[in-house]
């Protein structure tokens, strides 16, 4: 089909836009409700968005512009690193050189698969970024007087923290061993996963209508 033959129904487009935005907002509500730390639960220092299968952002909640502006780069990094996504996978990363803001902002990217014509097809990604109160480093908190990135805390390259729904226990243990408040970090990472799973379910429901 040539571009000039493509006709977009403006009403249907607006319905789709509103529905996808509502999904991103619900992801944020889930994250705030299930997180452990006041930084996420009360300060709401997080952002949620949805992306298509190529990594282009298609919907975002009214969260933090600094997160949303750079999150597409983190999603693109995850896609490049793991071209073989499967249902149940979730990638985490915080590397500022790969789309992150600073180390306390941990991004979580999960693929969205939908059953179409009898097979599971990748249709997009649910992603969120949340500011963790401590990721190790030279001093407690998230704003050390550092002169190099290695003093700021643990640098997480793109890793599958969950693969086909199974927790990568070694990777989780490595992250938690390098922070001062491991129980809080574990809870907040679980909350981020729950937010992405909320987005996945809602998009699947929309596609299957």
Span 46-74, pLDDT tens digits? 999 999 999 999 999 989 888 988 999 99
- On whether the pTM is more than 0.85, the answer is yes
Q: CA-to-CA distance for 131 and 134, rounded, in angstroms?
A: 9
HEC secondary structure over 115-178:
EECCEEEEEEEEEEEEECCCCCCCCCCCCCCCCCHHHCCCCCCCEEEEECCEECHHHHHHHHHC
Model confidence pLDDT, tens digit, residues 90-130: 999 999 999 999 999 999 999 999 998 889 999 999 999 99
By CB neighbour count within 10 A (0-12 exposed, 13-18 middle, 19+ buried), where does 166 fall? Answer: exposed
Per the document, the length of the chain is 209
Residue 187: both structure tokens together: 């809870």
Mean pLDDT of 27-42: 96
pLDDT at 65: 86
Tell me the domain boundaries of the chain: 3-207
């Amino acid at each position: 089909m040539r571009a000039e033959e493509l006709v977009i129904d403006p009403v249907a487009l607006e319905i789709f836009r509103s529905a996808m935005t509502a999904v991103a907002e619900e992801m944020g509500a889930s994250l705030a409700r299930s997180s452990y730390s006041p930084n996420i639960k009360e300060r709401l220092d997080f952002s949620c968005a949805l992306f298509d299968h190529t990594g282009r952002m298609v919907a975002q909640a009214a969260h933090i512009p600094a997160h949303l502006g750079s999150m597409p780069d983190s999603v693109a990094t995850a896609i490049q690193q793991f071209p073989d996504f499967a249902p149940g996978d979730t990638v985490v990363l915080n590397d500022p050189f790969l789309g992150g803001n600073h180390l306390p902002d941990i991004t979580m990217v999960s693929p969205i698969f939908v059953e179409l014509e009898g097979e599971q097809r990748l249709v997009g990604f649910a992603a969120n970024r949340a500011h963790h109160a401590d990721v190790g480093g030279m001093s407690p908190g998230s704003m050390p007087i550092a002169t190099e990135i290695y003093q700021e805390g643990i640098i997480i390259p793109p890793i599958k923290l969950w693969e086909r729904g199974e927790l990568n226990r070694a990777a989780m243990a490595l992250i938690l061993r390098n922070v001062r408040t491991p129980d809080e970090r574990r809870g907040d990472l679980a909350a981020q996963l729950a937010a992405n799973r909320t987005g996945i379910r809602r998009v699947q429901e929309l596609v299957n209508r």
